[in-house]
Amino acid sequence: MKKILLPAAAIAVIVLVLSDAQSAVMYARDAMYLCCEMIVPTLFPFFVCSGILIYSGFCEWLSHAFRFCMKPLFNVSPMGASAFVLGIISGYPLGAVTAGELYKNSYITKTEAERLLAFCNNSGPLFILGSIGVAMYSNIRYGVILYSAHIIAALIVGVIFRFYRRRDYTAPKTIMTTPDRSAGEVFSIALQTSIQNILTVCGAVILFSMASRLLLDLIPMPPQTDAFLSGILEFVTGAVKISNLTMPIMKRLILTAVIVGFAGLSVHMQAIAVIAKYELSLAPYFLGKILHGIIAGALTALYFWKNPITTAVTAPSMSKTIAASSAAEMTAAAIVVGLCIIFSIAYRVRRTD
């Protein structure tokens, strides 16, 4: 099946590009602009931080701190805590990247890595609170509601997937040990891995964004359908379109919760591009993201059923959304880089004492 689907998809993209080459070039240029202005500045520092945490041994501390919940709730070794923590702090697709790196370094088993993929690849608070809550809806309360539903839904999905291949062999309990590397070696390895990962992510964004926009241009549809399908394909664009729809704000927020939980095929292509080298099954990942979107939407609907909104909110433009998001995320990225370096150095000093 794979031998048929992949060539067929490639041929379809080539046909789309040749049918409207001018638009294809413009859409690709827009995607490159998005990568340069948002993805590289906001994701790359977190990729480096993730690598520093993994290769310096800081994940050992996280495994001890979250030992009380990882195994009982998710049936995953405590070593997997770093993937979930970094996933909910840093956003897509860092959770999946970290899970793959943990499996690559034999800190978790293949089954545990696949369980993690189902619930650790999440949207970060900066996007939901800043871009959606403040920039799109001019009310951070809505961002808090969506982020709460997003994280609770991820936890529920994690509990569901604790039963995934539960009879499979799990490695015996071991203490995570990290090779004794100098600070320069740790930074060099983290930097090289991060460069490879960010190039892979940007390549996926450019190709998928261009192809999805060309495809949507061919299909006339109502604004609501166009907004939702745009979110299924690329969730940032979909979230902006949904925020501008002329429907009750509660419905817009519920739809937003669904597409942010599902994350969009563009994010999935980024995750697949990064974790393909680890040869992990993607079935838990896709099923987990579908459940995540449905559960997040249901939780948001339940909240608004109990606490209905009676005031209207206007939404600013796409350019304002990107500008506000970029400024906040760049500031947070610089802070996180500094904290990760400080924590990693402190941890290594404590190990040597």
**Is position 17 within any domain?**
no
pLDDT of residue 83: 83
- Domain residue limits at 106: 23-163+182-352
**Is position 2 within any domain?**
no
Cα→Cα distances 236→127, 240, 321, 335, Å: 9, 6, 10, 24
**Could you read off the pLDDT of 84-143 as tens digits, one per residue?**
887 887 677 778 888 888 888 788 888 888 999 999 889 877 778 877 888 788 888 898
| Dihedral (Cα; 65, 68, 69, 70), 10-degree rounding | 70
**Could you read off the pLDDT of 44-53 as tens digits, one per residue?**
777 787 778 7
Identity of the amino acid at 303: Y
Residues 6+ apart with CB under 8 A from 301: 250, 254
Query: Based on the structure, what is the number of domains in the chain?
Result: 1
**Is position 15 within any domain?**
no
**Is position 8 within any domain?**
no
pLDDT of residue 298: 96
**Which of 14-18, 134-138, 305-309 is least confident?**
134-138
**Is position 35 within any domain?**
yes
- Number of DSSP helices (H) and strands (E) in the chain, helices first: 17, 0
Question: CA-to-CA distance for 144 and 254, rounded, in angstroms?
Answer: 13
Q: Write down the mean pLDDT value for the chain.
A: 78
Residues 6+ apart with CB under 8 A from 171: 77, 108, 109
Model pTM greater than 0.85?
no
**Could you read off the pLDDT of 277-305 as tens digits, one per residue?**
888 888 899 999 999 999 999 999 999 99
